[in-house]
Amino acid sequence: MKIQTLLIILLSCNIVYSQDTTYFNSKWEQTELSNAEFYRLQVKKDGLWMRTDFFTNNNQIQMTGAFTSLNPEIKEGYFEWFHANGNLKHKGNYSLGKEEGEHHWYIENGNLEAREFYKNGLLNGAFEEYYSNGNISKRTVFIKGLQNGSTIYYHEKGSKHSEGDFLNGNRDGEWKYFNELEELLGTNFFKTEYEIPEANMFLKLPNDEWYLAHQSSTGTTQYIFKRNEITNSEGQKIVPAIMLYIEDVTKYNGDATLFSINKRTPFIEKGIKINTTLIQSNEDYPLSYKNGYFMKATYLSNGEKHIFYMIHFITSNNKGVQLYLDMTEDIADEYETEFWTTIKSLKKL
């Protein structure tokens, strides 16, 4: 009878152990103990799932914190993560699954890597990053998840590398650059948001990699924007472009169809193939201007296939707007979304 009782106790312990312990491989995929790099202990207490993850090889804590829900996982309260050597990696608070308040990150040697502030899961407030030697590498500010305001970057030995302002995640205005002796090397000017007075229109460039390359008000108003070079998989230098043209179109009497036909015809005659045409009645029409046409086309040049957007519309003050966006197809998977930033930004001032 004693032997049977002992077997029951041992079996009960094994069942409890298997229920409370979960094993994971290096990709945090559930596995068996023999393949595990991490294991997890988890219990429910006072309505919260209390979780502690461990490194299998040394039983060092990898993470500890609480969840209000496991499916989906919703973090609540204070969390800590650790490196395999036992040094703290990350600490901070969560509310309803989102980062809140001050968070700290550390590298394996214990030095501070970053100090961040969050509100409702978005970076919001002072932000600092550090080199592994403990010197600061960046000091800036975030507002609702986007970098804004005065920013300073530093060389690894501690001297200033560059400084300037950010606006909604992009460098804005004059930036200064310094050598390691903090002697001024030069300046650059950045701008991503443009008011186009000739069309009473607002336009936003995709990011601070873009710049105004040419502007002319002689005859038809022209704004030519270009991007810094992109190197494709074959080592070729590609320069995407956004071209804006504005003219008086009183003679069209607001007929955007006739205006668009006249403007697209020369392109079609040169071999450009229009694949998609959208007007305001189409569900996917992306423009805030309703009296217009949105077209996605392709063409070949020097053996390279290009993606070419053509946008034509007439504003309420009888200005005809032509917007053309051009890049080679081989980089489109990664960079085509940049065009959509500008397309969707177009609006009346």
pLDDT tens for each residue of 274-330:
999 999 999 999 999 999 999 999 999 988 999 999 999 999 999 999 999 999 999
According to the model, what pLDDT value does residue 217 have? 86
Instruction: Note whether 172 and 199 are same-domain residues.
Output: no
Q: Is residue 10 part of a domain?
A: no
Return phi, psi of residue 296, to 5°.
Answer: -110, 125
**Region 194-204: what's the mean pLDDT?**
96
Strands 237-238 and 112-119: unpaired
With tokens 């500010």, the residue in question is 141
* Domain endpoint, select from 156, 190, 224: 190
- Pick from 319, 267, 266, 263: nearest CA to 289: 319
Q: Is residue 237 part of a domain?
A: yes
**Region 153-178: what's the mean pLDDT?**
97
**Region 84-101: what's the mean pLDDT?**
98
Q: Is residue 105 part of a domain?
A: yes
Return phi, psi of residue 39, to 5°.
Answer: -140, 160
**Region 153-181: what's the mean pLDDT?**
97
- Residues of the domain holding 270: 193-348
Q: How many domains does the chain have?
A: 2
According to the model, what pLDDT value does residue 97 have? 97
DSSP 8-state code for residue 250: G
Q: Is residue 155 part of a domain?
A: yes
Higher pLDDT, 2 or 121: 121
According to the model, what pLDDT value does residue 2 have? 41
Instruction: Note whether 203 and 268 are same-domain residues.
Output: yes
According to the model, what pLDDT value does residue 20 have? 73
Instruction: Note whether 197 and 340 are same-domain residues.
Output: yes
Range in 4-18, 49-63, 212-226 with the lowest mean pLDDT? 4-18
**Region 132-149: what's the mean pLDDT?**
97
- Pick from 176, 134, 132, 118: nearest CA to 151: 176
Instruction: Note whether 197 and 249 are same-domain residues.
Output: yes
According to the model, what pLDDT value does residue 176 have? 98
Instruction: Note whether 108 and 244 are same-domain residues.
Output: no
Q: Is residue 103 part of a domain?
A: yes
Instruction: Note whether 177 and 319 are same-domain residues.
Output: no
Is the distance from CB of 308 to CB of 299 less than 8 angstroms?
A: yes
* Domain endpoint, select from 140, 156, 190: 190
Amino acid at 27: K
**Region 4-19: what's the mean pLDDT?**
38
Structure tokens at 344: 């969707």
According to the model, what pLDDT value does residue 296 have? 97
Instruction: Note whether 75 and 180 are same-domain residues.
Output: yes
Instruction: Note whether 263 and 339 are same-domain residues.
Output: yes
Task: Assess whether pLDDT exceeds 70 at residue 209.
Answer: yes
Strands 201-204 and 347-348: antiparallel
Is the distance from CB of 133 to CB of 147 less than 8 angstroms?
A: no
The string of pLDDT tens digits covering residues 232-246 is 888 999 999 999 999
For 48: left if phi > 0, alpha if psi spans -120 to 50, otherwise beta; the answer is beta
According to the model, what pLDDT value does residue 11 have? 36
Is the distance from CB of 41 to CB of 21 less than 8 angstroms?
A: yes
- Pick from 142, 140, 138, 139: nearest CA to 119: 142
According to the model, what pLDDT value does residue 8 have? 38
The string of pLDDT tens digits covering residues 57-66 is 999 999 999 9
Q: For residue 206, what is the domain's CATH number?
A: 3.40.1000.10
Which residues neighbour 1 within 8 Å (Cβ) at sequence distance 6 or greater?
none
**Region 245-257: what's the mean pLDDT?**
96
Q: Is residue 314 part of a domain?
A: yes
Structure tokens at 74: 């919703």
**Region 159-184: what's the mean pLDDT?**
96
Instruction: Note whether 60 and 166 are same-domain residues.
Output: yes
- State the Cα–Cα distance between residues 61 and 81, nearest whole angstrom: 8
Instruction: Note whether 176 and 97 are same-domain residues.
Output: yes
Q: Is residue 5 part of a domain?
A: no
- State the Cα–Cα distance between residues 86 and 104, nearest whole angstrom: 16
Distance, CA of 69 to chain centre = 28
According to the model, what pLDDT value does residue 121 have? 98
Q: Could you give the C-alpha distances from 160 to 136, 139, 152, 293, in angstroms and in order?
A: 10, 11, 7, 49
According to the model, what pLDDT value does residue 218 have? 82
Instruction: Note whether 248 and 327 are same-domain residues.
Output: yes
Q: For residue 61, what is the domain's CATH number?
A: 3.90.930
Which residues neighbour 65 within 8 Å (Cβ) at sequence distance 6 or greater?
51, 75, 77, 78, 79, 80, 94
pLDDT band at 163 (very low <50, low <70, confident <90, very high): very high
- State the Cα–Cα distance between residues 314 and 331, nearest whole angstrom: 31
According to the model, what pLDDT value does residue 141 have? 98
Task: Assess whether pLDDT exceeds 60 at residue 347.
Answer: yes
- Pick from 162, 122, 157, 118: nearest CA to 138: 162
Higher pLDDT, 108 or 20: 108
Model confidence, pTM? 0.77
Instruction: Note whether 172 and 266 are same-domain residues.
Output: no
With tokens 């504005």, the residue in question is 246
Provide the 10 A C-beta neighbour count for residue 249: 20
209 SS3 class: coil
- State the Cα–Cα distance between residues 145 and 169, nearest whole angstrom: 8
